[in-house]
Amino acid sequence: MTHGNTEKDKTVHETKSNDEKVPHDKTFVSTVLAKNEENEFLEPDRHNILKRRKPFYGGKDHIFRDPEVTEYYRQMYENATYEGRFHFDPDFQWTPKQERKLLWKIEFRACLWACIMFIGLQLDRGNISQALSDSMLKDLGLTTNDYNTGQTIFRVCFLAAELPSQLVSKKIGPDRWIPTQITLWSIVAICQCKLTGKGSFYATRALLGLLEGGFIADTVSWLSYFYTVTSICASLLAFGILRMRGILGWAGWRWLFLLEGIFTLIIGLLSFIQLPPSPVQTKAWFRPKGWFTEFEEKLIVNRVLRDDPSKGDMHNRQAVTVKQLWESLCDYDLWPLYFIGLVSYIPTSTVSAYLTLTLKQLGFSTFNTNLLTIPANFAHLILLLAQTWLTENINERTLTSTLQPLWIIPCIGTLAFWSDSLTNVWGTYAVLVVLLSSPYIHAILVGWCSRNSNTVRSRTVSAAVYNMFVQAGSIIAANIYRKDDSPKYRRGNRVLFAIAFVSLASLLATKVYYVWRNKSREKIWSAMTIEEQNDYRKNTKDKGNKRLDFRFVH
C-alpha cells in the first residue's frame, strides 16, 4: 500500500511519459523498486519474477519519507494507543546485518516456542489417526461411519469456535488466551484414555474442537510453515507408544492419548510464561531484562510499520466491535480467498484421514502402518517450505498455489480410475505417498488474507473466517468416504477428482479478479493530481483494502 509521493517518486514520474505513469501502490514502492548501496533506485526486470527482490526498510527509502504521510500515521498510532508508537521513527536506520541478527533472535525466542505449541496442537488433534491403526474402533464398538460422525462433530465445533476465540484473543491478548486454550484442550485429550464408547467419543471430539478452534488463526499467519513437522513426530511417537498395549491392561491407543496429552499440558503451562504480549512488552517479573534491547525493539516496530503501516491502527488489547466485525465479514474482496480455503484441502484431507485404515487394509501391521506414514509427511514438509519460500521471494501467490491442485489431480485420478487401486499394495502406497506429499498452500493463503486485509481489525476477523471455511471444507472431507463405498471408495475419489479441478479454477479466477480490481483503482488514482492524492490520503473515509491507494497482492 502506497501512501505518499516522495521526491524520489516525483523524479521517477518526470522520466515517464504521461501514458506510462508509475503506480503509486505499496508493491511498487516497497517491492518493485530496490535500493542499492549508493542510495540509487534500481528497477528489476518486471518480466522475470525470479529476479524480484525482497524489500529492505532500514534505509531512507520507505513509505514514511513523505512528512504528510508520517504525520497522518503518527496521529493514527496515537489515537489507537498502539503499544509500539513510542518507537515509531521515520528517520531511524539500520543495516541488513543488524536485521538478520535480530531475525535470528526472534526465531529463537518466539518462533521456536510457537513451533513447540504447534507440535502440541497437532499431536492432540492428529493422534486419532494413529489410534485407529491400533484397533480403537473395534475396542469401542464403533464403525467407520461413527468415526466420520465424530470427526464431523470435531470440525463443526472447531469451526464454531474460530471467530469467538479470535475475538477473545484480541480482547485479552494471545499471550493469555493461547496458553489457556492449550492447557484446557490437553486435559480433554488426556481424558480420551478412558473412552468407553460412542457417547464419550463424541463428547471428547466436541470439546477438543471447541477448545482448539481459534488457535491456528492466532498464530499460523507467521509460523504455519512449521506445521507439518509434527506429523513426523507423531508417527514416531505412536510407533513407540502403541507398543505399550497390554501394560496395566490398557490398549496402546489409550497410552497414546494419555502420554501425548500430558506432554501438551506441560507445553500449555509453560506457555503462560513464554509468550510476551508484544515485542515491546517482553519484560516481566520472571524476565526482568526482557528479550530485546531498546535498539532492537525500535528496529522491530519500524520494520513492521514500514512494511504495512496499518499494523499500528489497533493496540494488542483492543476488542473488535460488532460493527467492525460486520464490516469485515462483508468484505467481498476477501471472499475469493475464503472459497479457495473451502475447496483446496478437501482431497488431501479425505485421503489423509483414512491413511492408516487404508494401510491396514493393504495388509500392513499396526507398527509398520505408522512408520509408513513418515515418508509422505517428510516430503510434504520439504515441499511446504520450498513452496512458501518461493512464493515470498518471487512475490507471486496464485501461480505457485496452482502447484497444489496440479499435483493432486493425477494422483486422485489414479485412485479413482486405476483398476488395481487398493489391490496392488506397493503401487497404491506409492500413489498415496505422492498425493500426500503435495505442496500445501495453507501458509500462503493465510498470509494472502492478511496482506489483502490492510487493517488489524480486518486481519483479525479474516484469519478466523478463512479458517472457518477451511474447517467447513474439512467437514465435507470427513463425509466423502462412506461405508457403502468401501473398500476402494471409487465414488468418493471421483468426487475428490472433481473438487481438485474446482480448486484449480478458483485460484485462476481469483488472480483475474485481483488484477482487474488493481487496474480499476490505478485508472482512477493515476487520473488524480498530486494535490488530489494527498488530499485523499488525509481526508478519505475509505478504510483498509477499500482505499484507492491500496493494491491487492496476487
Whole-angstrom distance, CA of residue 457 vs CA of residue 451: 12
pLDDT at res. 40: 30
Q: What is the pLDDT of residue 16?
A: 38
Q: What is the pLDDT of residue 408?
A: 92
- Nearest CA to 341 out of 225, 441, 435, 454 is that of 441
Q: How far apart are CA 369 and CA 278, in angstroms?
A: 43
Output the tens digit of pLDDT for each of the chain's 554 residues: 444 443 334 333 333 333 333 333 333 333 332 333 333 333 333 344 444 455 666 666 667 777 777 777 788 777 777 777 777 888 888 888 888 887 787 777 777 787 788 778 877 777 787 777 777 888 888 888 888 888 889 888 988 887 788 778 777 777 788 889 989 989 998 888 888 888 888 999 999 989 888 787 666 533 322 222 334 344 444 444 444 444 555 556 576 777 777 888 888 888 888 777 777 777 777 777 877 788 888 888 888 777 767 666 665 565 666 776 777 778 889 999 999 999 999 998 888 877 777 777 777 776 676 677 777 777 777 887 787 777 767 778 888 889 999 999 999 999 988 888 888 888 888 888 888 888 888 878 887 887 888 776 677 677 778 888 888 888 888 788 887 887 888 898 899 999 999 999 999 999 999 999 999 988 988 888 888 887 887 777 777 788 887 888 88
Query: Cα–Cα distance between 150 and 121 in angstroms, integer?
Result: 18
Tell me phi and psi for residue 287, to 5 degrees. Answer: -140, 65
Quote the pLDDT of residue 505: 95
The reported pLDDT for the residue numbered 47 is 41
CA–CA distance from 369 to each of 55, 134, 286 (Å)?
A: 46, 10, 45
> Distance of CA 120 to CAs 73, 495, 520, Å?
39, 33, 46
Residue 14 is predicted with a pLDDT of: 38
Task: List the grid coordinates of 221.
Answer: 499467519
- Residue showing cell 466420520: 148
Question: What is the domain partition of the chain in residue ranges?
Answer: 96-277
C-alpha cell at position 83: 503499544
Widest CA span in the chain: 82
Report how far residue 314's alpha carbon sits from residue 302's, in angstroms, rounded to the nearest whole number.
Answer: 16
Whether the CA torsion 232, 197, 194, 476 is positive or negative: it is: positive
pLDDT of res. 251: 58
Question: 96-277: what fold?
Answer: Growth Hormone; Chain: A; (1.20.1250)
Strand partners, 287: 284
Which residues have C-beta within 8 Å of that of residue 512, sequence separation ≥ 6?
none
pLDDT at residue 217, rounded to an integer: 66
How far apart are alpha carbons 275 and 335 in whole angstroms? Answer: 32
Asked if 151 and 132 touch (Cβ cutoff 8 Å), the reply is no
Q: Write down the pLDDT at residue 28.
A: 32
